[in-house]
Structure 1
Amino acid sequence: MTYYWIVGITFFFSVIISKILKNKFRIYSELYLHNHMSGKEIAEKMLTDNGIYDVIVISVDGELTDHYNPMNKTVNLSDRVYHEKTAAAAAVAAHECGHVLQHKLGYNMLKLRNQLVPILNFSSKFTNIVLMSGLAIFYSSGGKNAFLLKLGIGLFSLAVIFSFITLPIEFDASRRALNWLKTKNIVSYQEYNTAKDSLKWASMTYVVSALGSLAQLIYFMSIFTDKKDD
């Protein structure tokens, strides 16, 4: 029951944050930039200002689907961000270019996350099966057979570590974006605050996800430790 409470609470806060974020973007989408630059133009300028000429800015379908793909060197902006000339669009576009800068400069946390990706992709295929099987065997054996449960917890902990490594990467990309927007006078004072607020709420989605996964890990670990104490 505790597990479902954790998942439910995490899901609840994720929905709330998502709604707030979408509402913020809806409101901020009505506030147009004084320089009339689109998200695409913002991204292209930030790239060229930092001497990056081999990354292409393209439009992709969906909402909040913006991301940087280092494999084919593309900054992928959702259709709305790509075309709109607002501070919110500028913030998202610059944030994704912040990831490009991290890649170019060899940002250590990004390197670490990239090294974990193949491992996580492999382990994620088995994590749920191993955890559920481990729990079943653990309880049926009266807590005597905990090997599979320990393995499942170990696999799940990789996902938790990955989610927490992602946090400083996202915060750093936002910092780089806001710093560039401010120093290059791309946005006014009011537009800067709007961009900052947009990125703050966007980062909250990662925070909620990381804390939710940590809470689940603690729960799984408590099952083993509580049974061991008995």
Structure 2
Amino acid sequence: MIVIFGASAFVSWRLRSKFNEYSQIGLSNGLSGAEIAQEMLRQNGIYDVRVLSVEGMLTDHYNPQDKTVNLSADVYYGRSVAAAAVAAHECGHAVQHKVAYGPLQFRSAMVPVLTVSSRYLQWVLLAGVLLLQTTPLPLAIGVALFALTTLFAFITLPVEFDASNRALAWIQNNGVVNQREYGFAKNALWWAAMTYVVAALGSLATLLYYASLLLGGRRSS
């Protein structure tokens, strides 16, 4: 767990460092993140998705519920390699939504279940640990709920990598970036993807920890 925590801290620091670095590198074509997002949506025949500016840093996301591409101010107004990469990536999710990309559909279907289970998960796990010597049932329920969280984390990986691949292909094929800028954009999105990889591994490690407690408790009972 300490290794996972250290890796997570390093990847988060590295992502912010790369984003700051590539935010200082202006695009040769001078387009803003908002303009890139709108053009990518248009070229993919998507006209019902709005591109919005939201507060915060690295708060960029696509919301399939209200069909909005939400870009942080640095990305929305930015005319940098980082802005281009992030804006195109979030539009990659919109393209996934349009073509009914399987992993994204599965991930979206899991959201309502996880929203409910996350409210009680920590309490169920705590009760499970405290009552383990009496009954394994609460911890077994907690492990099952946490397994859903871990599954969600791993399903997120192909969704994120595919969105990045769509983004990189589009900005390259449409001349949004030159060869040098493409390399920077690819590196930025790779570090962003690594945050999801570390999160998934951390979730798996935590799941295995509670599962080992459950199995150990059963053996001793």
Matching residue of 1:3: none
Counterpart of 1:41 (choices 35, 41, 52) is: 35
Q: Deviations over 1:187-223 (max 9, x none)?
A: 1000000000000000111111100010010111111
Aligned positions of 1:78-93 closer than 5 A? 78-93=72-87
Find the counterpart in structure 2 of residue 172 from structure 1.
162
* CA distance, structure 1, for counterparts of residue 20 and residue 107 of structure 2: 32
Unaligned regions of 5+ residues in structure 2, if any?
A: none
Give the Cα–Cα distance (whole angstroms) in 1 for the partners of residues 214 and 12 of structure 2.
Answer: 34
**What secondary structure, in the 3-state scheme, does the structure 2 residue paired with 1:126 have?**
helix
Deviation at 1:43, TM superposition (A): 0.4
Aligned to 1:207: 197
In structure 1, how many angstroms separate the alpha carbons of the residues matched to 2:66 and 2:209? 39
Equivalent-residue separation in structure 1 for 2:58 and 2:173 (angstroms): 26
Deviation at 1:109, TM superposition (A): 0.6
Moved over 4 A (4+): none
Query: Residue 9 of structure 2 is aligned with which of 15, 18, 21?
Result: 15
CA distance in 1, matches of 2:187, 2:7: 18
Structure 2 partner of 1:109: 103
How many residues align? The count is 220
**Which whole-Å CA distance do the structure 2 matches of 1:98 and 1:59 have between them?**
17
TM-score scaled by length of structure 2:
0.96
8 Å Cα contact 2:136-2:217 kept in structure 1: no
- Please name the residue that 1:118 is paired with: 112
Q: Deviation of residue 173 (structure 1)?
A: 0.3
| CA RMSD, 1 decimal | 1.1
Matching of residue 181 in structure 1 with residue 171 in structure 2:
yes
Give the letter for the 2:46 counterpart.
I
- Displacement after TM superposition at 1:54 (Å): 1.4
Which residue type is aligned with residue 20 of structure 2?
R
Report the alpha carbon displacement of residue 149 of structure 1 after superposing the two structures with TM.
Answer: 0.9
By how many angstroms is 1:13 displaced?
A: 2.1
What's the TM-score, normalizing by structure 1?
Answer: 0.92
Q: Quote how far apart the aligned CAs of 1:88 are.
A: 1.1
Equivalent residue of 1:138, what SS? coil
User: Which one of 125, 131, 138 corresponds to residue 137 of structure 1?
Assistant: 131
Say whether 1:219 aligns with 2:172: no
Q: Which residue of 1 aligns with 2:22?
A: 28
Q: Given that residues 96 and 163 in structure 2 are in contact (C-alpha distance below 8 angstroms), is that contact kept between their aligned partners in structure 1?
A: yes
- Cα deviation for residue 226 of structure 1 reads 2.7
Deviation of the 1:71 alpha carbon: 1.9
Tell me the CA shift for residue 53 of structure 1: 1.3
Indicate if the aligned counterparts of 2:132 and 2:217 stay in contact, CA closer than 8 A: no
Alignment of 1:148 with 2:138, yes or no, is: yes
Contiguous gaps of at least 5 residues in structure 1: 1-5
- State how far apart, in whole Å, the 1-side matches of 2:13 and 2:96 are: 29
Identity rate of aligned residues, in percent?
50
- Equivalent position amino acid for 1:84 in 2: G
